[in-house]
Amino acid sequence: MQFTRLSQAARATSRSLSSRQLQNRKLASVASARPDVCPPYSKLVKNLGEVRKVLGTQGLTLAEKILYSHLDNAEESLGGRNGNVRGEAYLKLKVDRVAMQDASAQMALLQFMTCGLPSTAVPASIHCDHMIVGERGADVDLPKSIEGNKEVFDFLESAAKKYGIAFWAPGSGIIHQIVLENYAAPGLMMLGTDSHTPNGGGLGAIAIGVGGADAVDALVDAPWELRAPKILGVRLEGQLNGWATPKDVILHLAGKLTVRGGTGYIIEYHGPGVETLSATGMGTICNMGAEVGATTSLFPMTSSTLAYLNATGRSHVAEAAVKTQKESDYLRADETAKYDEVITINLSELEPHINGPFTPDLSTPLSKFKDVVKENNWPEKLSAGLIGSCTNSSYQDMLRAEHLVKQAAAAGLKPVADFFVTPGSEQIRATLERDQTLDVFSSAGGTVLANACGPCIGQWKRTDDIKKGDSNAIFTSYNRNFRSRNDGNAETMNFLTSPELVTAMIYSGSTTFNPMTDSIPTPDGKTFKFQPPTGPELPPNGFIPGNLDFKPAPESIPSPETPVVVSPTSNRLALLEPFKPFGTSELKDMKVLFKVKGKCTTDHISAAGAWLKYKGHLENIANNTLIGAMNAETGETNVAYDFDGSSMGIPELARKWQKEGKEWLVVAENNYGEGSAREHAALQPRYLGGRVILAKSFARIHETNLKKQGIVPLTFANEQDYDLIGSCDSVSTVGLLEMLNNGGNGEVSIEVIKKDGKKHTIPVKHTFSKDQAGFVLAGSALNLLSKKA
């Protein structure tokens, strides 16, 4: 399967996305930067001055400067705390921008539409990247995916036109790469409806992944609330060399912190090593910070930042940032700033790493990986190598991979494992095509997929002989590797690493190959050893925009007369009905629907892949609720038991109890809701009658999403009490209503009546703020926003 230039048929299909709406579209060029992409530096510096009056003379980190300068009211959030802000205060923030990918934008827009506003309050964009399948190559996959999702893409584009939102059509690229190329900037604060939004931190932006309901806060000009994060400082020293890459910085750090270690923190990188990294390399590090649970990650402005802004048509932003820094020191941490914790990484000593399988924090240095493979009896045969994704699809990533392919080709070698390449954006793809990099990948037998998420998000239709249940190993430059995530096969082991290592590995076909030390036999009987890869940060001849049909108009002006039609018979889109308010009494006699064992990510709670087509239809997507969760009492996946002992799928039992008028809760272990920002993992249980999630701990985004949808997240005061509760037990809350009515103040416990009649009282903890308590009492945050709007 070879790459060919995107055909006229594919382009015609993209143009027919909604021909009536596209016929008047103005075409953007790479240099036509929109005037609203420059942060309002004067306003932010002035706001920071007010913050300093409230906080006094204490030094601030860069993250604090940007966060606090976006406060709606500094005195209300920070006043009277004597500097005790991190981890304690709730910040009410006014953000600069919102970005939404197509899967999450559907529900976000359906919620926004209920508010009845004529336009968004802040600049926003929609990026069609999640719903494009990767199979045979861009020329085949893109038009097929556009045709199959036309109803959804038409809905998104019409809503974008109506409300003045920039619409990046299918084929334009992955949301985070496009944001980096067009919108991210030093000092900016933005929300994105995707967990890897922190990618923008590579350009010095506070970019935070959220659920759609959080995005609606910003879209309607309501302050967005965030508990003030602690700040983890990562000091970088030295300089990367040889095979080590920026990806290895975060792979190594994930191993140290684990998937929970960054929860409640912003990771702020500093130190002399920062100046040695490329802008896109810094983006890679920030992107995958999501895997340790961090609120976001952030780098200061460097010479690479400015070079990238200039190369992507934003010289005016670079100039404004330099001027602001010179006059106010806004874009650097204060010299007296203190971090809650500091981790030091010497880049000069950093070794390439490989993380996985099944979790992104199982980190192994390359030199030890061969032994670990053998010790764990993991597959030694490599079935596929995939490079690209929102994490590693920059020009530099691709040129370093090309350097390795050229080395191997000169030795007469061909890949012995399938090879897939995903450009991050149309701009990257077109530039790589001009520079003949894609021809190099094509000549090696590589398949260049559409500029979209594809296999990384589960949209991979494999064409090899691997079947469901077959144990196999793939190497990817992606960021997440949960079971079943990429191809729907729970036995596919995805090992995360740099694009360079992936590319080298496909020529050996072995997971135990170490390109730093090992050689490969060549067809002429000799041996070949790779030399360390090299590649420029930016294209020497500049970027080119590629297919302009994919890009939005330079100006996004609301068009109120544009109809946004949702068919009442559609199985893809459905208008929302508000959830009922909390009520005037405690939650009584809830039933435990399911007790979860082990890891339960948002992939387990609301699977992606083929289910993405139902993202705009709550009733239909609710049929996948918790189908990946493991039963703590039986070890079965997606098998729940009713009172009479009969078994069925979890969503089936939830629907049965809902019809019978039984409200329910789920009991879970640590870091419940880890992974993607998808708010469907909160919407679906709420829709099916869920009222409480009781866990040992929660992932940040998901805990907020639950509150926004009116579900009460509670944690065990004593984790061992998890053993005192089981499926079908009856549970009532004590003190919950009083706590909610008191704006989040008060103690809560639960009373458990076991199936055998025994009773337990279990103390629980909560993290409700005043506003969050109001969300639950109203039935959802949207109910409150709709009234205010």
Whether the CB-CB separation of 552 and 416 falls below 8 Å is answered with no
Q: Which of 127, 196, 252, 480 is catalytic?
A: 480
DSSP-assigned letters across all residues of 416-440 = SSEEEEE-SBHHHHHHHHHTTHHHH
Angle between helices 770-778 and 700-708 (to 10 degrees): 50
Q: Which of 102, 129, 361, 397 is catalytic?
A: 129
Other C-beta atoms within 10 Å of 757: how many?
6
Q: Which of 34, 86, 127, 130 is catalytic?
A: 130
Helix/strand/coil (H, E, C) string of 333-392? CCCCCCCCEEEEEEHHHCCCEEECCCCCCCEEEHHHHHHHHHHHCCCCEEEEEEEECCCE
**Distance between CA atoms of residues 688 and 690, nearest Å:** 6
Angle between helices 680-687 and 700-708 (to 10 degrees): 40
Query: Which residue type sits at 744?
Result: G
Query: Which residue type sits at 145?
Result: S
Give the Å distances, CA to CA, from 583 to 152, 300, 705, 737.
Answer: 35, 48, 20, 9
Q: Which of 678, 680, 686, 766 is catalytic?
A: 678
Q: Tell me how far apart the terminal alpha carbons of the chain are, to the nearest angstrom.
A: 52
Q: Which of 96, 102, 141, 194 is catalytic?
A: 194
What is the maximum span of the chain, computed from C-alpha positions, in angstroms? 81
* Known catalytic residue at 130: yes
Whether the CB-CB separation of 526 and 252 falls below 8 Å is answered with no
- SS3 of 277, please? coil
Nearest to 165 by CA among 97, 93, 70: 97
Residue 472 forms beta bridges with which residues?
492
Nearest to 293 by CA among 209, 183, 379, 386: 209
**Distance between CA atoms of residues 278 and 296, nearest Å:** 19
In degrees, rounded to 5, the angle at the alpha carbon of residue 595 between the alpha carbons of residues 592 and 601 is 120
Query: Which residue type sits at 758?
Result: K
- Who's near 354: CB < 8 A, 6+ residues apart? 251, 363, 364, 366, 369, 475, 495, 496, 497, 501
**Distance between CA atoms of residues 193 and 103, nearest Å:** 9
**Distance between CA atoms of residues 195 and 360, nearest Å:** 14
Whether the CB-CB separation of 202 and 312 falls below 8 Å is answered with no
* Known catalytic residue at 480: yes
Place of tokens 């203190």: 338
* Known catalytic residue at 389: no
Sign of the C-alpha dihedral, residues 616, 618, 621, 626?
A: positive
**Distance between CA atoms of residues 195 and 217, nearest Å:** 17
Whether the CB-CB separation of 132 and 453 falls below 8 Å is answered with yes
* Known catalytic residue at 129: yes
Q: Residue 323: exposed, middle, or buried by beta-carbon count in 10 A (0-12, 13-18, 19+)?
A: exposed
- Give the phi and the psi of residue 641 in degrees, each rounded to 5: -125, 135
Q: Which of 104, 676, 727, 780 is catalytic?
A: 676
Catalytic residues: 129-130, 194, 480, 676, 678
